[in-house]
Amino acid sequence: MNAIQWNNRKPKICIPVMEETEDRILQQVETIRAMDIDLVEWRIDAFEQIKDLTRCIEIAKMIKERLDGLGLLITCRTKQEGGCLDYTDSFYKELYQRICKEQVADLIDLEYDRGKDVFDRLLPIARKNQIQVIASHHDFNKTPSKKEIMEKLNCMRQTEADIIKMACMPRSKEDVFVLMEATSTFKEHYPDIVLVTMSMGRQGMPSRILGEFMGSSLTFASVGTQSAPGQIDVDVMHILIDTLHKIQE
């Protein structure tokens, strides 16, 4: 497995793949495999044959082979948190269990709100197979207060996932600053936690760029279809992040 290292201050860049068919998925992987990025996220919930677990594993293996050393994050995003479909708990667990046991990913994303049972079941399997786990939460309706964000992040920390991810929708510029301030404060309290946060939409774009300043370790950029509102083109993202990193040195 590709052991992703998180000790560099400069945020890593991840490109999502959200195509529906096998051919288009593999075409996009071929397009992005040579780019200067750190991770590829396969949004498996967009795959038209997602209910066929055997086919999902076969496609994941083909993606991993083509990435040739790049990290692969596999995410099954539920409709409630911006994904394509709703899934039963049993299907959700079985899908990720197969992904882990077949060792076709370097990281998986588990939604925090799916509940403690999901983490109790899947974390040990992921660890046994050397797969890192992201505990994630997405709020497409609002940005909570700084206190509420801090409380949510602390609850997510207690899952003992390797990475904590939180994304919120701003209703004002002030909301963007609230999320960024909460991220910075939480990182000061828990410097060893790998934290990923972002404010979504056009208003939230600064949060996707300023990860190094506020303590967010990963940002998502786009090539073609965006997996979330406000993602920035990967070439533009590189210029911005590299420039800010030089300023910090």
In the annotation, is 51 catalytic? no
- Report DSSP state, residue 133: E
Tell me if 174 is assigned to a ligand binding site.
no
Instruction: Find the catalytic residue in 12, 138, 152, 187.
Output: 138
Rounded CA gap, 153 and 236, in Å?
29
Tell me if 66 is assigned to a ligand binding site.
no
Tell me if 90 is assigned to a ligand binding site.
no
Question: In whole angstroms, how far apart are CA 241 and each of 9, 138, 172, 234?
Answer: 11, 23, 24, 10
Tell me if 208 is assigned to a ligand binding site.
yes
Instruction: Find the catalytic residue in 165, 189, 245, 246.
Output: 165
Tell me if 33 is assigned to a ligand binding site.
no
Rounded CA gap, 197 and 213, in Å?
12
Tell me if 77 is assigned to a ligand binding site.
yes
Give the list of residues 6+ apart from residue 157 with CB closer than 8 angstroms, or none.
164, 190, 193
Rounded CA gap, 19 and 147, in Å?
37
In the annotation, is 79 catalytic? no
Tell me if 9 is assigned to a ligand binding site.
no
What residues act catalytically?
A: 138, 165
Q: Which residues are annotated as a binding site for 3-dehydroquinate?
A: 41-43, 77, 208, 227, 231
